[in-house]
Structure 1
Amino acid sequence: MKNTVLYTIAPKDLAAHLFEVTLTVDKPDPDGQIFFLPAWIPGSYMIREFARNIVRINAQSDGEVVTLKKLDKHTWQASPCKGTITLEYEVYAWDLSVRAAHLDQTHGFFNGTSVFLSVQGQENLPHVVDIRRPEGEELKTWRVATALPQLKAKRYGFGTYVAANYDELIDHPVEMGTFDLATFKAHGVSHDIVITGRVPNLDMARLSADLKKICEAQIALFEPKSKRAPMDRYVFLTLAVGDGYGGLEHRASTALICSRNDLPVKGQKEMSEGYRTYLGLCSHEYFHTWNVKRIKPAAFAPYDLRTEGYTSLLWLFEGFTSYYDDLMLVRSGVIDEAAYFKLVGKTINGVLRGSGRTKQSVAESSFDAWTKYYRQDENSPNAIVSYYAKGSLIGLALDLAIRTETKGRKSLDDVMRALWQRYGRDFYSDLGGAGVTENDVERLFDEIAGLKLKRFFDRYVRGIDDLPLGKLLAPFGVEMSDKRKDAKPGLGIRTSRDGNDCKLANVYEGGAAHRAGLSAGDILIAMDGLRVSASNFDTLLARYRVGDAVTLHAFRRDELMMFDATLTPDDAPQVTLAGQAKPAAHARLRAAWLGTKSAG
């Protein structure tokens, strides 16, 4: 095909974890074509320098060697040539995550940002990729799963796939190997579930039924009349491992990783916590199909994948998505109100636990994602606030406030639909779309809700005040309580297991351990002369009372140190939510919010 950018990608050496990629350009820049690999992947706001995994690269034109000069850590320039130029390179793929690429004898996976060099100046041409089968008789059962449109390939088959441009090419992750597969339709659109990894007695029928409910609820939220999804086909790509969790959104698919124990088992009807968590992850990434993949912050329209893209709106794009992910579980009937209130309570407790919320606003947290949120350390709870978690509570607070002030006539749903209609629906169409600015967001809220919300934004988005959730929940017949008055003695720490040792993962500011001089990374070995281990620390601590003095011995690096601490009440929040049946007006308001037939 002429006037296209053509790639081939093949699993070259599974044991060495190498993909081999070729890139052919028909009409390279006569002054010397420039190529670059993205430094980050949309949805994960951290510079990852994927080019470091290119282990060999060369170029030729009409059989002649072409010199490649490296301009910076992820950019190459070819020497001038008149004919077609072809690059050949190998990519090391050993990142078992949703963000990069992974290859071994069990499967292959890649995001385009990790393997496909961009051709500068030709990003808007059609891009074709030939995905080739690995060699070996035992690998003939491998298939391909991706949402990329097929060109000369059967669905789930090796062959050629096509994208309208580079941005679309890198927005469709690819899984290859042997996998479990199921398909369902949500409002007429095919949705594939692909599960890679060994999962005994996987209940695909239940998973399909639950995801269908969640997907249809989300489609109806944004398009209540037409029920029209923004994609022709969607793929849930899940890698099941012994222990793992994560997801990354794409325009017509999502890459997920989970523990195999989180997936439903045939014959088990109860909703396990792990399965509920997995459905919440699927719900979160699916909601991104609208919120961030098409409704975008202005800084991402278009993406500059060579450097950081700063926005103070991640509290909306990630936070509101986190609000709706669990809300969609209850609205779709997958979980009940009590389970939903438990999830909200857990989020509230997580936000209130760290003192970082008193130092950083969610707008600042969004802007600093590149250097703080995605590069967390042992002091992060004392220094930052999560734009995911507090952002979800801001979404909750705004939804409740709008519903209350308008007596149920308006809600956050109306704001999200307005964002979709004005900024998202046409983003990938010929009409094109623009990103949303901070001022756009605030004006839209005032317009759609019919309220003046500047004070709210000043206090809770740009400011660091705690949200008045108890007051906002009351008109919905939901009681919020905090049982910290019954707190047991504590040191103000979070521990982790290091072998059988009890290691301090976090020392919370103002707690007993902080006052005594303990630090994150210290290994507790004794309390009042009794040996401390990862398995007995809580049991030992439970024998004391608030106000008791204890002597602690700990290793810091290889030095033994002693600390005198006075136990304080464990001030970890213990917020719980409970719905009340009366008065009926509250129950009706709650039912409209949660999409339940009855409340109480």
Structure 2
Amino acid sequence: MKPAIHYRIVPVSPEAHLFEITLTIDKPEPAGQRLGLPVWIPGSYLVREFAKNIVSIEAFDEHGALPMAKLDKRSWQVAPTRAPLTVRYTVYGFDLSVRTAYLDQTRAFFNGTSLCLGVEGQLDAPVVVDLVAPAGKDYREWRVATSLKPLKAKPFAFGSYTAANYDELIDHPVELGDFTLIQFKACGVPHDFVLSGRLPKIDSKRLARDVKAICEYQIKLFGEPAPFDRYVFMSFVSGDGYGGLEHRASTALMCSRDSLPQPGETGMKSSYRQYLGLISHEYFHTWNVKRIKPAAYAPYPADGEAYSRLLWAFEGLTSYYDDLTLVRTGLIEVDSYLELLSHTITGVLRSPGRQVQTLEDSSFDTWIKYYRPDENAPNSMVSYYTKGALAGMCLDLHIRKETAGKQSLDDVMLALWQRYGRDFYQGKPVGVPEEGWEAVAEEVTGLKLRPLFDLLLRSTEELPLETALAQVGVLWQARAQVGAGDKGGWLDKAKPTGVWLGARTGTDAGLVKLTHLFTDGPAMNAGLSANDVLVAIDGLKANQANLDAVLATAKPGDKLEVLAFRRDELLKFKLKLDSAPATTVGLKASEEDKAKLAERRAWLGA
């Protein structure tokens, strides 16, 4: 057995947001040990340069200090030694997200990609991690939440934990603090739900019951037993937080206080529905991307990007199954699911970039586009999450139709699991080849799916959404947007098509700020630009209420005089209004066709 790589992690200065890490290597490379920190974290496809947060670093052995040379933005070389090598360094952690590290007097959170230098040449060696509590009486109530296996530590206590290798180490984030703990079992497997931050009163029993339903459905979808012995949800609660990042036996989440179920609440408020959808999404990743994954990510390269055209399948299909899980488990009704689906469709249709970028290109370009959106993003790109989810729905309904309901996308996912995912961590990891996903789908269903895949993935033609939904008795309503907060949804009395500005707006000191302009929209055609701040419209002060009032009564062809600041310069524009496009969609279940009703029930399990 290889000697273990040993890390000692201490939140040494919470007020300064500093972690101290001591790395001990029993048998360093005699010619000089090279160390490196990843430049990105799996699941978030952007080079984030984690090494920038290393504040100080030193190396020494039993004889004293050893010279270190920084080789590039992520790696160091230590001078040769045959004695055990110790490297001590401090890391600044104050990023309140699920991707990096955070530390203050209230809590600590970190991913191994932010704190743990990898030991080149020994990345397969077993790892021991000593988690040490901050010094002082203010931290006596702090506990540990992680899916790392305890070595010499009681449940939720500071002490020693272990991982089989470096890849496993960085796939188990750690939460430290005085958190709230909810526990339940799903298919017999222990699940810990950890909530940190300042909490409102919550209905813990309802939260546990609802999350358990999600977990048990997805475990059974892929087949028992679950691919882990224990699972940990870590959720930071704040005023307006939202986000998640998946790991092999845990997930890091952020949510708002309002999104949690509170005692006495009945029904399903939209914020809680969204939170359950996020939980469902990250949990589904346990199978789809953590174990079934593109060949390009098996293994993940720590030093740079890994390109794949398959993210539509790993993020998009996960986005398809997240809300689908909610309706199949009965957590939401069919009408509620169709409302969520209408929001997704509307979001895609309102992005002109869907006519510019294909799903495969969106997947490939994630490193330079999706995580770096700018003011022109709606015109130049499409999300592999949202359009990928819609492509997955079209594929699912097509398979169901062509096989007379005998097969579905579920069968494809199960086959991928059995072929690529189930034994992923048991031997040499094997990922899905770039052409392999489509090949499995054709093999499982017996259908010739290449023309459909060409349409869904490799063209910018509109997806056959209305046709696909019609086969399961879902009515389609295409209309103009009604007000800035209209995300889509069925209107019993849809208003006649009005006019539109052709821009997304925000506020700046009470005035209207243009955040994004759409290609060939009235605002762009008038010469306005993103970040322009509207001062006046037809001689009246421009605020969101006035703008909405003008657009509500105007007709196509009307002209407005607009004054706007661009930087510190006042400019004048003539804006000619145009008919608002019918890119807002509403969906409604029809009960008239009994055959379609049966097909819809088979699809939604409701």
Under TM normalisation by the shorter chain, which class is it? over 0.9
Counterpart residue number, 1:545? 555
Counterpart residue number, 1:188? 188
Q: Does 1:433 align with 2:429?
A: yes
Q: Does 1:490 align with 2:500?
A: yes
CA distance in 2, matches of 1:103, 1:534: 39
Mapping for residues 213-228 of structure 1, pairs under 5 Å: 213-223=213-223, 227-228=224-225
Mapping for residues 433-512 of structure 1, pairs under 5 Å: 433-484=429-480, 486-512=496-522
Displacement of 1:61 in angstroms is 0.6
Counterpart residue number, 2:72? 72
Counterpart residue number, 2:277? 280
Mapping for residues 397-416 of structure 1, pairs under 5 Å: 397-416=394-413
Mapping for residues 181-580 of structure 1, pairs under 5 Å: 181-223=181-223, 227-429=224-426, 431-484=427-480, 486-571=496-581, 573-580=583-590
Mapping for residues 106-117 of structure 1, pairs under 5 Å: 106-117=106-117
Partner SS state of residue 469, structure 2? helix
Does the 8 A contact of 1:492 with 1:571 survive in 2?
A: no
Displacement of 1:546 in angstroms is 2.6
More moved, 471-480 vs 279-288: 471-480
CA distance in 1, matches of 2:591, 2:564: 52
Does the 8 A contact of 2:478 with 2:582 survive in 1?
A: no
CA distance in 2, matches of 1:373, 1:327: 24
Q: Which runs of 5+ in 2 are unaligned?
A: 481-494
* Alpha-carbon displacement from aligned partner over 1:106-156 (angstroms, at most 9, x marks no partner): 100000000000000101110110000011112100001011110001111
Partner SS state of residue 476, structure 1? coil
Displacement of 1:442 in angstroms is 1.3
CA distance in 2, matches of 1:256, 1:234: 14
Partner SS state of residue 357, structure 1? helix
For 1:441, the aligned partner's letter is W
CA distance in 1, matches of 2:63, 2:14: 29
Does the 8 A contact of 1:239 with 1:256 survive in 2?
A: yes
Partner SS state of residue 344, structure 1? helix
Q: Does 1:172 align with 2:172?
A: yes
Displacement of 1:534 in angstroms is 4.1
Does the 8 A contact of 2:38 with 2:303 survive in 1?
A: yes
Partner SS state of residue 52, structure 1? helix
Displacement of 1:2 in angstroms is 7.2
CA distance in 1, matches of 2:592, 2:445: 27
Counterpart residue number, 1:56? 56
Displacement of 1:460 in angstroms is 1.7
Does the 8 A contact of 1:457 with 1:463 survive in 2?
A: no
More moved, 541-550 vs 384-393: 541-550
Counterpart residue number, 2:593? 583
CA distance in 2, matches of 1:269, 1:553: 48
For 2:173, the aligned partner's letter is P
* Alpha-carbon displacement from aligned partner over 1:456-513 (angstroms, at most 9, x marks no partner): 1112201111111111111211112212382322111100122322110100111110
CA distance in 2, matches of 1:481, 1:453: 28
Does the 8 A contact of 1:494 with 1:507 survive in 2?
A: yes
For 1:510, the aligned partner's letter is D
CA distance in 1, matches of 2:379, 2:594: 42
Counterpart residue number, 1:147? 147
For 2:334, the aligned partner's letter is E
For 1:289, the aligned partner's letter is T
Partner SS state of residue 326, structure 2? helix
Q: Does 1:34 align with 2:34?
A: yes
Partner SS state of residue 12, structure 1? strand
CA distance in 2, matches of 1:170, 1:486: 54
Displacement of 1:545 in angstroms is 2.5
Displacement of 1:572 in angstroms is 5.7
Does the 8 A contact of 1:45 with 1:369 survive in 2?
A: yes
Does the 8 A contact of 2:479 with 2:582 survive in 1?
A: no
* Alpha-carbon displacement from aligned partner over 1:169-208 (angstroms, at most 9, x marks no partner): 0000100001111011110011111110112111111111
Question: Is the alpha carbon distance of 1:438 and 1:2 closer, same or farther for their aligned partners in structure 2, counting shifts above 3 Å?
Answer: closer
CA distance in 2, matches of 1:536, 1:257: 35
CA distance in 1, matches of 2:551, 2:539: 13
Counterpart residue number, 1:131? 131
Q: For this pair of structures, how many residues does the alignment match?
A: 592
CA distance in 1, matches of 2:20, 2:553: 61
Question: Is the alpha carbon distance of 1:535 and 1:96 closer, same or farther for their aligned partners in structure 2, counting shifts above 3 Å?
Answer: farther
Q: Which runs of 5+ in 1 are unaligned?
A: none
Query: What TM-score do the two structures reach when normalised by structure 2?
Result: 0.96
Partner SS state of residue 255, structure 1? strand
Partner SS state of residue 320, structure 1? helix
Query: What TM-score do the two structures reach when normalised by structure 1?
Result: 0.97
Displacement of 1:570 in angstroms is 2.3
For 2:430, the aligned partner's letter is A
For 1:27, the aligned partner's letter is K
Does the 8 A contact of 1:248 with 1:254 survive in 2?
A: yes
Partner SS state of residue 368, structure 1? helix
CA distance in 1, matches of 2:332, 2:601: 14
CA distance in 2, matches of 1:199, 1:498: 31
Does the 8 A contact of 1:360 with 1:383 survive in 2?
A: yes
Counterpart residue number, 1:97? 97
More moved, 477-486 vs 160-169: 477-486
| Root mean square deviation, CA, Å | 1.2
Does the 8 A contact of 1:349 with 1:572 survive in 2?
A: no
Does the 8 A contact of 1:500 with 1:535 survive in 2?
A: no
CA distance in 1, matches of 2:178, 2:156: 11
Counterpart residue number, 1:24? 24
Partner SS state of residue 57, structure 1? strand
Partner SS state of residue 395, structure 1? helix
Partner SS state of residue 366, structure 2? coil
Counting aligned pairs with the same residue, the percent is 54
* Alpha-carbon displacement from aligned partner over 1:300-352 (angstroms, at most 9, x marks no partner): 00110110000000000000000000000000111010000001111111111
Does the 8 A contact of 2:25 with 2:86 survive in 1?
A: yes
